[in-house]
Amino acid sequence: MTILDTLVQVKQKELKDYPENVEVVAREKPRNFLKHLNEAPGISLIAEVKRASPSKGDINTEMNPLEQAQKYVDGGADAISVLTESEYFKGDIEDMKAISKSFDVPVLNKDFIIDKRQIARAYNFGADIILLIVTILNDEELSTLYDYAKSLDLNVIVEVHNDKEIERALKISPEIIGINNRDLKTFTVDISNTENLIDKYKKDGIHFIAESGIHDSNDARRMVDKGASAMLVGESLMKASNIKEKIKELKEGVTVES
């Protein structure tokens, strides 16, 4: 059994406590990250609030999520990802709610979504973007969840790791594909995964987001050179002593001393 199987089991267990239907509440229209990607010059940065992870254990459990998000916004992050899974990432959906209320940038609910009710909940807590991980969904589930999220005007990052998954993702004509450089079953991280998959599948009308394992200007430059529209960065921002400088390094390729 892989960690991903375990994470899905945790979600299945949580869903037993959900009502049969999660009604969506009235709220402001979600902020449009796709529009930002269509218009922004250069590479965009999704900065992640990530206390811990299955692969790294505790990363930064002392941080205050609102203060962390403030530093991301001040540094020029284009969106904020909040890991809300609690058992292995020590996340909390209340963090996302508070961040969504406090800042203007789009907010990604990073979790393991297998059911429509989680999307309704994400929407109700202020998410603007959700993530669907292809490998934990069958084709019908992927398509149904994608359409439901889009019907709520949420942006959807369809996350893949390999050729098989990207070919399944392409069947639903996604506007945003996240390429995870981390194999979520083995934890191996290799940023050439983004380079290889963009080389093979680059196509007008699709934004590619490079996810995981991006630590410095050299990594970021490789993602820019391949035409990634954005990168999703967690650990290196959570550990950075100067977040503003780290964001500058990643977005502008300016190396800074740590």
Q: Is 50 a catalytic residue?
A: yes
d(CA 203, CA 207): 9
d(CA 249, CA 240): 11
Query: 3-class DSSP state for residue 236?
Result: helix
Which positions from 68 through 127 interact with ligand LARABZUK, judged by CB under 6 A?
Answer: none
Shortest spacing between CB 255 and ligand LARABZUK, in angstroms: 18
Tokens of 203: 């196509």
Q: Which of 53, 109, 155, 217 binds ligand LARABZUK (CB under 6 A)?
A: 53
Which positions from 190 through 249 interact with ligand LARABZUK, judged by CB under 6 A?
Answer: 211-214, 232-235
Size of site (CB under 6 A) for ligand LARABZUK: 18
Shortest spacing between CB 28 and ligand LARABZUK, in angstroms: 27
Q: Is 180 a catalytic residue?
A: yes
d(CA 78, CA 40): 9
Closest by Cα among 122, 199, 196, 133 to 168: 133
Q: Is 55 in the site for ligand LARABZUK (CB under 6 A)?
A: yes
Give the range of 66-74, 179-187, 192-200, 243-251 binding ligand LARABZUK by CB under 6 A.
179-187
Q: Is 110 a catalytic residue?
A: yes
d(CA 79, CA 32): 10
* Catalytic member of 11, 44, 48, 81: 48
Q: Is 11 a catalytic residue?
A: no
Nearer to ligand LARABZUK, 32 or 60 (CB): 60
Query: What single-letter amino acid sits at 199?
Result: D
DSSP readout, 176-220?
EEEEESB-TTT--B-THHHHHHHHHH--TT-EEEEES---SHHHH
Shortest spacing between CB 66 and ligand LARABZUK, in angstroms: 19
Q: Is 212 a catalytic residue?
A: yes
**Cβ 220 vs Cβ 249: under 8 Å:** yes
Q: Is 48 a catalytic residue?
A: yes
Q: Is 159 a catalytic residue?
A: yes
d(CA 157, CA 176): 5
Q: Point out the residues that are catalytic.
A: 48, 50, 110, 159, 180, 211-212
Site for ligand LARABZUK, rule CB under 6 A: 3, 48, 50, 53-56, 180, 182, 184, 211-214, 232-235
